[in-house]
Each structure stands twice: as C-alpha cells, then as structure tokens.
C-alpha cells in the first residue's frame, strides 16, 4: 500500500467515524426524549396515586401524611376562593344553551361554543 492509498483509507475511516458519531448523537437525543416522556408518565401516575390516596384518607388525623393533607386542603380552598374572585371581577354571564358560567364580556361560550351575541338577537 503506497502513501496516497494510506491517506485515502484514513480519510474514509474518518468519514465513517463522523457518520457513526452523528448516528450516536441522534440516538442519544431520541433516547433522552423517550426517557423524558417516560419520566413525565411516571410523575402523572404518582400524582394520580397521590390524589386517590388523598381522597380516600383525607380527614384521618392519625396518619403520617396529615401535614400534607392539610397543605393540599388549604391550597384547594384557596384555589376555589381565587376562582370565585375571578368570576366576581369578570362578571358571571351564563350560557343560555349549556349553562356554563363565563365572563360578561365573552362572545362565545367556552364550554359549548355557542355564539352568545346570536342568542341575544333571537
């Protein structure tokens, strides 16, 4: 094998390495996406499990998670209070078709899509 053949072979091998590395990189990227979505899936299952545990055992004072139960209940109450406040500020029109509550300024029902202006004209 003469000098130029050797150079040629080295270049071909280098090209192969680059291709292989590019494939590795995209494979790793794909795996990372898969890992992330599986982790999200597991988080959702944990959350669902926690919610069903909360609903079953909330109010039992003799349990280890009493403090977390309390924090969740408190947060839920605050969410309801803030939702009520939003309705108070925005007004509370009712969809004549499905009865959903929404801001006075709404032109479409966010629940069933009825155009509210039309209903008033009829």
- Count of residues engaged in binding Zn ion, rule: CB under 5 A: 8
Residue 111 in the binding site for Zn ion (CB under 5 A)? yes
Q: Minimal distance in Å, beta carbon 90 to Zn ion?
A: 16
Residue 22 in the binding site for Zn ion (CB under 5 A)? no
3-class DSSP string for 9-45: HHHHHHHHHHHHHHHHHHHHHHHHHHHHHHHHHHHHH
Binders of Zn ion among 28-57, rule CB under 5 A? none
- Cα dist from 80 to 70, 85, 89, whole Å: 16, 9, 14
Residue 98 in the binding site for Zn ion (CB under 5 A)? yes
Q: Using CA atoms, how far apart are residues 11 and 17, in angstroms rounded to an integer?
A: 10
Q: Minimal distance in Å, beta carbon 105 to Zn ion?
A: 15
Stretch that binds Zn ion, among 31-39, 62-70, 77-85, 90-98 (CB under 5 A): 90-98
Residue 112 in the binding site for Zn ion (CB under 5 A)? yes
Please, is 109 exposed, middle or buried when counting C-beta atoms within 10 Å of its C-beta (0-12, 13-18, 19+)?
buried
Interface ranges with Zn ion (CB under 5 A): 95, 97-98, 100, 109, 111-112, 114
């Amino acid at each position: 094998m003469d000098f130029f053949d050797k150079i040629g072979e080295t270049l071909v091998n280098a090209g192969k390495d680059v291709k292989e590395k590019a494939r590795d990189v995209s494979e790793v990227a794909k795996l990372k996406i898969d890992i992330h979505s599986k982790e999200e899936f597991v988080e959702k299952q944990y959350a669902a499990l926690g919610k069903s545990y909360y609903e079953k055992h909330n109010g039992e004072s003799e349990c280890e998670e009493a403090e977390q139960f309390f924090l969740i209940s408190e947060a839920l109450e605050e969410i309801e209070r803030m939702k009520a406040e939003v309705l108070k500020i925005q007004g509370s029109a009712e969809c004549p078709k499905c009865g959903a509550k929404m801001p006075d300024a709404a032109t479409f029902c966010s629940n069933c899509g009825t155009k509210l202006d039309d209903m008033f004209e009829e």
